[in-house]
Amino acid sequence: MIEAIDFSLLALTSPGWGGALLAGFLRSVELAAGGYLLGIVIGLLGATAKLYGGRVLRDIAEIYTLLIRAVPELVLMLLFYYVGTDLLNQLMAAFGREGIDIDGLSAGILVIGLVQGGYATEVFRGAIRAVPPGQIEAAQAFGMSPFRVLRRVTLPAMAPHALPGMANLWMIATKDTALLAVIGFSELTLVTKQAAAATREYFLFFFAAGLLYLALTLISNLGLRWLERRARRGLPAAA
Amino acid sequence: MNDATPAVEIRDLHKRFGHLEVLKGISLTARPGDVVAVIGGSGSGKSTMLRCINMLETPSAGDIAIHGETYAMRPTRDGGLEPADRRQLQRIRAQLGMVFQNFNLWPHRTVLGNVIEVPVQVLGISRDEAVARARQVLDRVGLAEKEDAYPAHMSGGQQQRCAIARVLAVEPLAMLFDEPTSALDPELVGEVLNVIRDLAAEKRTMILVTHEMSFARDVASHVVYLKDGRIEEQGPPEQIFGDPRSPHLQQFIRSIA
Ligand SMILES: Nc1ncnc2c1ncn2[C@@H]1O[C@H](COP(=O)(O)OP(=O)(O)OP(=O)(O)O)[C@@H](O)[C@H]1O
Ligand SMILES: [Mg+2]
């Protein structure tokens, strides 16, 4: 059966689907990277809100993370995508603007970022709490402003504690892009499905897609390991 | 302001943690050049008093002035006080330097990075100038060779000397020490005390909480004995150690000798 596989179907140009597959893969990477970065921003805001915010901010962050972690990701994505774009359009209409058509990429990044942000909030919160308070006190005692303390001391000191969790989240982000196939994003999984359906070569295309996901993970691992070494500079070798 | 302006002045300082009153009305003045040693039993309130000076703890009542400038405070809902003017707080704090029992260096920065951090980030000094000055103070504490090391890769004594260099780099009006040698292995205590002794000899203003009685006797110009949140006795070291009046202090000195 293996001999029957026609690898020319993976060719980059037209009768082959390789080009489409790669384009879908790039779209997946874009979605994952954008969503991940957005998740980091939301996570930092969420963690600082939880740790240092007033009652209202704390409650908002609490409800947000509870929601994200309790509801299945696919449901969240459908919810954010359909309800989110709808809300946005209504909002624009209320301000007398045309209903805008947010492009697919931004919508996908938003959807993934909102999910990632919930988990990132918890990762950062735990990491910040692992920073010995004395290091933060020392910065305060020298007259650093709260924002500078955060930027110069708290965040870099918590980075090594956050990295394992954040590395995990990156892996989840890359795989969550596949869920967007349900909404019709032409990312890797959807393109693969189309290619497989058109050629009836399910094994070939899903195997190729699997390899692409695997390659992304392996390359990411290299980068993450480098980052971790960097963030752990100055920490004792053990632990 | 003239030279007679106290570097640190504490007036009727009270501090409560919940229902526990830890400081019960403390008044203390450190003039420029004074070396004030604060002694007393565990839990007598030494650290709390020191930490009120730079507002790491906020007083429940009383005033604190640094070089004549009194912290602006406002009442909180739970009956305490809090700094009312963030800019003033940061400005005053930048004129003080604190050396902690556990060093509290920033582990993600090298020795040099730790020492230039406040001059560059808070005082707005250029990096080049800060580095030049940092090398001078590192040389003073005997760490010239270690500027690229990370704190975790140094001995406790080296870390504490780095923490002292970090304070010297801001040229503070007053230095606050909270038991700077208590976390050190006995054989490392001497190297840190020697650095502090040199600074005291230069007439740098310092307030020093310590359990090292013979050291306090050597370097202090003034000794304060805290007991249950009050100053029970104070005076020149010869009097406090040679002729203590209060029975508690007599017993404290016997117990520690
Ligand atoms: N943040 C806090 N919350 C509640 N109680 C506190 C707090 N900090 C200090 N205390 C209490 O205040 C009292 C004085 O503490 P402080 O640390 O000032 O004593 P100290 O004289 O420095 O003692 P030591 O020699 O052990 O360092 C102690 O009873 C301590 O338990
Ligand atoms: Mg103490």
Q: What are the E-state strand segments in chain B?
A: 8-17, 20-30, 35-40, 61-66, 69-70, 73-75, 81-83, 96-99, 174-178, 206-209, 222-227, 230-235
Q: Considering the domain boundaries, does residue B47 fall inside one?
A: no
Please report how the helices B156-168 and B111-121 are oriented relative to each other, as an axis angle in degrees rounded to 10.
20
Radius of gyration of chain B (CA): 18
Higher-pLDDT residue of B186, A94: B186
Q: Is B181 in the pocket of ligand 1 (CB under 6 A)?
A: no
Show which residues on chain B lie within 8 Å of chain A, measured between beta carbons.
54, 56, 86, 89-98, 100, 102, 104-110, 117-118, 121-122, 150-153, 170
Lowest pLDDT segment from B63-72, B73-82, B127-136: B73-82
Q: How far apart are CA A167 and CA A179, in angstroms?
A: 20
Q: Which amino acid is at A183?
A: I
CA of B22 to the centre of ligand 1 (A): 7
A3: pLDDT strictly greater than 60: no
Question: Going edge to edge, which strands form the sheet with B69-70?
Answer: B20-30, B8-17, B61-66, B69-70
Query: What pLDDT does A134 receive?
Result: 95
Higher-pLDDT residue of A181, A164: A164
Q: What are the E-state strand segments in B100-184?
A: 174-178
- The pLDDT-based confidence of B15 (bands split at 50, 70, 90) is very high
Atom 18, ligand 1: residue with shortest CA distance = B45
Residues A39-55 have a mean pLDDT of 94
A163: pLDDT strictly greater than 80: yes
Query: What pLDDT does A102 receive?
Result: 64
- The pLDDT-based confidence of A81 (bands split at 50, 70, 90) is confident
Show which of residues 146-175 on chain A sit within 8 Å of chain B, judged by CB atoms. Answer: 148, 152-153, 156-157, 159
Q: Considering the domain boundaries, does residue B112 fall inside one?
A: yes
- In this predicted model, what pLDDT tens digit does every residue of A18-32 receive, in sequence order? 888 888 899 899 999
What is the nearest CA distance from B61 to chain A, expressed in angstroms? Answer: 20
B185: pLDDT strictly greater than 50: yes
Atom 9, ligand 1: residue with shortest CA distance = B48
**Domain count within chain A:** 1
Query: What pLDDT does A239 receive?
Result: 43
CATH of the domain at A11: 1.10.3720.10
Q: Considering the domain boundaries, does residue A237 fall inside one?
A: no
Residues A7-23 have a mean pLDDT of 77
B64: pLDDT strictly greater than 80: yes
Q: How far apart are CA B244 and CA B257, in angstroms?
A: 14
Question: Are residues B153 and A138, on separate chains, in Cβ contact within 8 Å?
Answer: no
B2: pLDDT strictly greater than 70: no
Q: Please state, as a whole number, how many other Cβ atoms lie within 10 Å of the Cβ of residue B76.
A: 11
Q: How far apart are CA A84 and CA B36, in angstroms?
A: 64
Q: Which domain holds residue B163?
A: 106-171
Q: What percent of chain A has pLDDT over 70?
A: 94
- In this predicted model, what pLDDT tens digit does every residue of A120-129 receive, in sequence order? 999 999 999 9
CA of A142 to the centre of ligand 2 (A): 19
What is the nearest CA distance from B255 to chain A, expressed in angstroms? Answer: 31
Query: Kind of pairing, strands B206-209 and B174-178?
Result: parallel
Q: What are the E-state strand segments in B101-199?
A: 174-178
CA of A54 to the centre of ligand 1 (A): 27
Q: Which domain holds residue A113?
A: 7-231
Atom 12, ligand 1: residue with shortest CA distance = B22
A54 touches B at CB < 8 Å: no
Q: Considering the domain boundaries, does residue B202 fall inside one?
A: no
- In this predicted model, what pLDDT tens digit does every residue of A186-214 receive, in sequence order? 788 888 888 888 888 888 889 988 999 99
Q: How far apart are CA B17 and CA B11, in angstroms?
A: 19
Quote the ipTM score: 0.92
Minimum-distance CB partner of B98 among A141, A145, A159: A141
Q: Please state, as a whole number, how many other Cβ atoms lie within 10 Å of the Cβ of residue A193.
A: 16
User: Which tokens belong to A57?
Assistant: 């901010």
**Domain count within chain B:** 1
Query: What pLDDT does A237 receive?
Result: 63
B104: pLDDT strictly greater than 70: yes
Query: What pLDDT does B1 receive?
Result: 45
Q: Considering the domain boundaries, does residue B166 fall inside one?
A: yes
Atom 17, ligand 1: residue with shortest CA distance = B47
